[in-house]
Structure 1
Amino acid sequence: MSESRESESGDSKLPKIPEQQEEPPQNDAAADFETAIDSAGFGMFNILLLVAAIPAAMGTVYETSTMSYILPSAECDLQLSLLDKGILNAITYAGMISSAVMWGYLADTKGRRNLLIVGYAADTVCVLGGAFSQNRIQLMVFKYLGGFCMSGPFAVLMTYLTEMHGRKHRQRIMMMVGIMFSIATLTLPGLAMLILPQTWDFHVWTLKLASWQVFVAITALPSLLSFVLFFFFPESPKFLMSKGRNQEAMTAFKIIYHLNSRKPKDSFPIKLLANEVIVPVKKHKEGKDVPIEIKLPMESAEVQDAESQDAKKSSLRSGFTQLRPLFTKPYLGLSLWVYLLNFCVLLGQNTMRLWLPQLFASINEYEQLIDGQSESTSICNILEYSVNRTQNQLEAATRNDPNVECHVNITASTYTNNLIVAGAGFVAYMLAGFLVNLVGVKRIMTMGLFVAGCCSIGMYWSNSAISTVAIASLFVTMGSISATSVISASVNLFPTSLRTMIVSLEMMFGRLGSLLGNIFFPALMGLGCVPPFLMISSFMLAGCLMAAFLPLKNKAALK
């Protein structure tokens, strides 16, 4: 009351004082993303999001691993040679490599949620297309397209989940996602045990469907479920704020807050969001009133649209600017070192992992063949039997001779060993974070690669199914921990501004290694027992040497 009386009788400038005093609270109230997401809390929304992420993680794992389980069952129907099997294992990675740049651009321009919806919908179509394939060429085309479509959701899922949680919960969420991926890997051999031994023979119009095709069709369900579920979630508010779409970001925050607190959306404590659009320096100099610039994304859509073209150009320039340090002297050698290291690790890890179902199927069939005989089930005998059997089956299938029939002998026990190895991989992931922090990234990576390299060449001396499963489990365990450690090392070696680009390029080289390894492995199987395992061992030991000389302190732990 006293202020209003003074303003009526005093200086003409005094009435402006209340307006000047109202501005600072609005400045203070303009919250950045971290403040807003923390205010939205953690609760029912986050739990529902994690539930929706489970089929999403399963879909990404199934896309890269399904082929390895159907190869023993489908070799007669598709007339598969060893090289065909290698290409089917590898071609998904070719699709991922070819679309990585496109998906990265779309994720940063069109949004996380939209990409997840489109990506999982497209992957569902590709998986179902593969399930209805009647020959190996059709299956290869659909698997390539599946990899092309899945490359986006595979990368964006982690980003989306990160941006939906506050700093307090992010590390735990990433651990939860890792566990989801491991559980998905564990469910695949279980699903194979239930479906692939069946002798189903369906006819849909002119299409003939066997049990392996039913198996592939069922693996489309997680992607289909993810496509439906992500419709019910908002766009990442971090992405929306970075594009100046603060009104939409505020709506997203209110939805999260409402579900987490069970309070009305209008009671969300944050009333104004800060401008997080990266604006050129000139515009900062021209704009004298800071509060107007904070309100700009929320109140002036026309100005936002006018600036969008400049924003796209500046983001393109900033992209090239971000790449430039990777090709200059301080980081060029180190980045190439990391790329080559991940190439070696994933070549060995994914080649062995994807060929184990075929190897275990051959072991199971060979043991049934020599039942009661004293012959050794050494890995060399198994490989020789597998190569000869595949060649004979291919010849039988192509001759169409009624007296020589191509047949497969698949039982539930065929996939028991895969379940054991998948379980070992699950335990490895659970231990990886703890061990890396305790022992140090460099030390555990070096030791893991050394043990994996020894396990690979040690396969040569394996003379029983039990020892083969034990060695394979140890290899997968050490390989998983080493692959995790390589990414951790990359994050520690490079500054924040380069980390995203380094990890993206590193994964591209890793997928290239997976692609080449799965093609070379069957080619080397035809040459003898030692070459395929020697190849994997050589790359793992080469990775061990590179890891040993990385300029990284052993005491550096993940944070």
Structure 2
Amino acid sequence: MGANGVNQLDENSPKQLPLTTAGKLDKIVEHDAAAAAAAAATTTARDQATDFESAIDAAGFGLFNVLLLLVAVPAAMASVYETSTMSYILPSAECDLKLSLLDKGILNAITYAGMISSAIFWGYIADTQGRRKLLIYGYLADTICVLGGALSQNVVQLMVFKYLGGMIMSGPFAVLMTYLTELHGRQYRQRVMMSIGIMFSMATLSLPGLAMGILPQTWHIRIWGLSLHSWQLFVAITAVPSLLSCLLFPFLPESPKFLMSKGRNAEAMEAFRFMYALNTRQSRDAYPIKQLANELPERGTKDVAGVEQLAETKPIGSLRAGLRQMRPLFTKPYLGLSLWVYLLNFCVLLGQNTMRLWLPQLFASINEYEQLMGSVVDEANANASTSICDIIEYSVNRTETQLQSTLGECKVNISASSYTNNFIVAAAGLVAYMLAGVLVNLVGFKRIMTMGLFTAGSCAMGMYWSNSSISTVALASIFVTMGSISSTSVISASLNIFPTALRTMIVSLGMMVGRMGSLVGNVVFPALMGLGCVPPFLMVSFFMFFACLLASFLPLKNKAVLK
């Protein structure tokens, strides 16, 4: 061929090509064709790999989802009971534990102190070890803590067990939200979150029902050197939901979204098939998806959150690994957004949980005040005798008198009617959540959140001018309902605007900051009660209005794809 080879031939004259050269070119063409076919096959396989949203949609909605929500009912009840039982026993345990106003505030707040101290730990465990395992062992540990609190013989022991219970419950509470979100498609996700709100309302409704039947009793039992009263039995019964939860969650699968994010697609596929079989009554092999997309980046690459990913999943690691998991939340592009969510949580939960946890004490004081003052049936006189400011003044003076008594005479005037108003407030919340579940897909979380916070702030301010028990109950019902819906919406917003790698962590940190607000509010509220009628309501109202302003600028879209 020499210097004049194939390149010098006219491309239109193939007959001039030597035989040996033509054979070589045939082999090259065959090789290129094979390579092209392999590349096309790879591309086709890649295109056939299904992402999470399509896979969860293919699993359908049916029996599995119904069973999932039924299992979530006792789990939600356990979360509410852990944070709310103290507010119900304060009036009846006042003499047994010799409680001051500050003691009552601390008992209401101590659970949140425990939650704050463990939030980072649980967030790391859930995002590295999975949702299901944490739910099982978390609720088991909470059962033990609640029973320990029921056997407490003094206020210090009770505070210790409530603190430990808060430490434990911080994990399951945040993970329950994430778990339910990741087991539903976009079409049902927002309604499911509102369903959780209904579960919380049902739990809140059941508490005054239990209190009406148990707390007015004058039981005094001595067994194994322990002195047990009706309020301790009430606390012990609230351990049942946690026990049921730890027994039921083993029958449910791990979150397939979590499994895919860790590269465990085979396990995720089994979870999808299990869901599909229950929902459609068909065999698992009939599940139409055959291959899942690889959501685990190669070693050294970064995910959408900016976290460097490793190909392998490690066991529970060191503090350094936990801090690395948090790092994206304190750097761009998530720093500003995460701080916004933290502040919003702080304001909402400060107002919501302060008012919610002091209402049982306030209503018990109203009932006792009306009995002692001999309120008449005439509405005008009844209105005059139940001014909210008179009630607060009476409650503060009565507690101080009980503590200063040197004769050892301490009486509590608790009857079933003391908790009737709490039942009304909880029932109103349940009805409102059902309506919100219908409206959420129409107006979205953001509008519901902002309107709810504004309404709650207005009601808190309006309670100052309340001059009857009826108006007080009405305003309290609206406040608790709107505040509860708004707090649930804040969590839902956090789940939708952050990626999977950060989802449980942002909820845990957001709730941690929110619980700081609950802690501050419940300790400051009784101090403000001692100063007068205006300050406690003014504080709650201010934080709810400020939260409304923050929520109105939150970048949130309806039916967003889970990142």
Q: TM over 0.5, yes or no?
A: yes
Is 1:462 the counterpart of 2:466? The answer is yes
Question: Which residue identity lines up with residue 146 of structure 1 in the other structure?
Answer: G
Partner secondary structure for residue 385 of structure 2: coil
Distance 1:276 1:493 in 2: 18
- Could you say what secondary structure the match of 1:526 adopts? helix
In structure 2, give the amino acid aligned to 1:453: G
What count of residue pairs does the alignment treat as equivalent?
519
Q: In the alignment, is residue 381 of structure 1 matched against residue 390 of structure 2? A: yes
% identity of equivalent residues: 70
In our comparison, the structure showing a higher alpha carbon Rg is: 2
Amino acid of the structure 2 residue aligned with 1:139: L
The residue aligned with 1:297 is none
Match of 2:266 in 1: 247
Shift of 1:171: 3.1
CA contact (8 A) 2:347 2:547 kept: yes
Q: Distance in 2 between matches of 1:459 and 1:412?
A: 24
Q: Distance in 1 between matches of 2:72 and 2:258?
A: 19
CA 1:83–1:242 in structure 2 vs 1: closer, same or farther (change >3 Å)? same
Match of 1:424 in 2: 428
Q: Does 1:160 align with 2:179?
A: yes
- CA–CA distance in structure 2, aligned partners of residues 521 and 91 of structure 1: 14
User: Residues 316 and 28 of structure 1: is their aligned pair in 2 closer, same or farther, counting only changes over 3 Å?
Assistant: farther
Contact 1:279 1:311 in 2 (8 A): no
Q: 1:169 to 1:435 in 2, by over 3 A?
A: closer
Partner residue of 1:83 out of 102, 105, 116:
102
User: Match for 1:363: what amino acid?
Assistant: I
> What TM-score results when the alignment is normalised by the length of structure 1?
0.81
Shift of 1:534: 2.7
- Rounded to whole Å, the distance in 2 between the matches of 1:30 and 1:547 is 38
- In structure 2, do the counterparts of structure 1 residues 496 and 57 end up closer, same or farther at CA, with 3 Å as the change threshold? closer
In the TM superposition, residue 225 of structure 1 has moved relative to its aligned partner by 0.0
Moved more, 67-76 or 172-181: 172-181
2: CA distance, partners of 1:380 / 1:282: 61
For 2:541, the equivalent position in structure 1 comes to 537
Partner of residue 189, structure 2: 170
- Match for residue 366 of structure 1? 369
Residues of 2 paired with 1:47 and 1:348: CA distance?
33
Q: 1:197: Cα distance to partner? A: 1.4
| CA–CA distance in structure 2, aligned partners of residues 458 and 124 of structure 1 | 39
Cα shift at 1:68: 0.7
State the shift of 1:28 in Å. 5.8
1:294 corresponds to which residue? none
Partner secondary structure for residue 325 of structure 1: coil
Query: Are residue 113 (structure 1) and residue 132 (structure 2) matched?
Result: yes
Tell me, yes or no, if the aligned pair for 1:436 and 1:557 is still in contact at 8 Å: no
Tell me which of 250, 258, 263 is aligned to 2:277: 258
Is 1:513 aligned with 2:517? Answer: yes
| C-alpha spacing 1:338/1:270, structure 2 compared with 1 (3 Å) | closer
- CA 1:319–1:83 in 2, change beyond 3 Å: closer, same or farther? closer
* 1:508 Cα deviation after fit: 2.5
Specify which of 344, 347, 361 is matched with residue 347 of structure 2.
344
Deviations 1:463-510, CA, capped at 9 Å, x for gaps: 221122122223223433444565577789889998776555433322
Q: How does 1:408-557 map to 2 (within 5 A)?
A: 408-432=412-436, 448-484=452-488, 503-544=507-548, 550=553
Match of 2:403 in 1: 394
CA distance 1:459–1:161, shift in 2 (3 Å): closer
Say which is worse superposed, 536-545 or 342-351, in terms of deviation. Answer: 536-545
Q: Select which of 332, 353, 373 maps to 2:356.
A: 353
Partners of 2:466 and 2:472 within 8 A in 1? yes
**CA RMSD after TM alignment:** 3.8
| Equivalent in the alignment of 1:235 | 254
Partner of 1:299: none
In structure 1, distance between residues paired with 2:450 and 2:291: 50
* Contact map agreement 1:346 1:514 (CA 8 A) in 2: yes
Query: Which runs of structure 2 are paired with 1:259-278 in the superposition (5 Å)?
Result: 259-278=278-297
1:23–1:459 Cα change, 3 Å: closer
**1:420 partner SS:** helix
Q: Which residue of the partner structure matches residue 10 of structure 2?
A: none
1:341-389 residue CA offsets vs partner (Å, 9 max, x unmatched):
4323321221111100000001101111111566722222212221122
Map 1:202-241 onto structure 2 (within 5 A): 202-241=221-260
- Cα contact 1:451–1:478 (8 A) shared by 2: yes
1 CA distance for matches of 2:143 and 2:388?
37
State the Cα distance separating 1:531 from its structure 2 match. 2.5
Taking the aligned partners of 1:178 and 1:446, their CA distance within structure 2 comes to 17
Equivalent AA in structure 2 for residue 512 of structure 1: M
State whether structure 2 residue 103 is matched by structure 1 residue 103: no
Name the SS for the 2:428 alignment partner: helix
Contact preservation (8 Å) 2:459, 2:475: yes
Q: Deviations along 1:316-355, whole A, 9 cap, x unmatched?
A: 757524531168xxx64x6545533432332122111110
Counterpart position of 1:293: none
Deviates more, 1:481-490 or 1:139-148: 481-490
Alpha carbons of 1:390 and 1:311: their partners in 2 closer, same or farther (altered >3 Å)? Answer: closer
> Aligned letter for 1:152?
G
| TM-score, normalisation: structure 2 | 0.81
